Amino acid sequence: MASKFLPYCHARDIFSVDIAFFKKENIKTVLADLDNTLDSYRAKMPSKRVFELKRKLEEANIELVLISNNKEKRVKPYASALGVRYLFSTHKPFKKRLLNFLNSNDIVKESVMIIGDQLLTDVVMANRAHLKVMLTEKIVKEDQWTTHINRLIDRPIRSYFRRKKKLIDWKEKM
C-alpha cells in the first residue's frame, strides 16, 4: 500500500491525545481539520471540549490552527468563536495553499503536526508537504455528502494498515 496514505501516528480522536505527546514531538503548531475531527460538520460553534483542547494546548505554548476544505463562511465563524487562526478552502490533498499559509505565517514545518480524520485528504496532503500527521477516527457517524466517496476508498486502506499493524498509536511514540 502506498506510503502516501500512511500517517505518522493514529489516535481514536484528538481529545484523547495527551498534550505531553506534542511537547515530546517538539510540536508548536497543531493544524486540526474541522469537520469530523474537532466537531460535527453541523456544529456552527466550537463545543466545550474543543475550547478545553485549545486551553490545554495554549498552556503548553502550542498554537491550534484550523484547516478545512470547507468555505470561509463555514470556517471563519467557528475559528473566530474559538479565537484561532484558520485556513479555509485548503484544497486538500494538494499542498500548495497549506505551504503558502505556513510560509506567510512564519510557521516552521518541523514544528507542525496535522490532525485529521481522512486518509485521502489530511494524510495525503501532510505527506506531500513532508509534515507529521496524526490520523483520527471520525467523531460522529454523519458526514457531508462530499465525504462519502472518500470514506469508500478510506475504509479498505485503513483495514489493510490495521491488518499489517502499520497504524501506530500515538502512545507508542511516547
- What CATH number should be reported for the domain holding residue 72? 3.40.50.1000
Q: What DSSP assignment string belongs to 93-121? A: T--HHHHHHHHHTT--GGGEEEEES-III
Residues 92-146: tens digit of each pLDDT = 999 999 999 999 999 999 999 999 998 889 999 999 999 999 999 987 676 665 6
Let me know: does 58 contact 30? Beta carbons within 8 Å: no
Range of the domain at 70: 3-173
- Contacts of 75-84 with CB under 8 Å at 24 or more apart are 75/34, 77/44, 77/45, 78/34, 78/39, 78/43, 78/44, 78/45, 78/46, 81/45, 81/46, 82/46, 82/50, 82/51, 82/54, 83/54, 84/54
Let me know: does 75 contact 68? Beta carbons within 8 Å: yes
pLDDT of residue 140: 67
pLDDT of residue 156: 81
What is the value of pTM for the model shown? Answer: 0.91
User: What is the tally of structural domains in the chain?
Assistant: 1
pLDDT of residue 150: 73
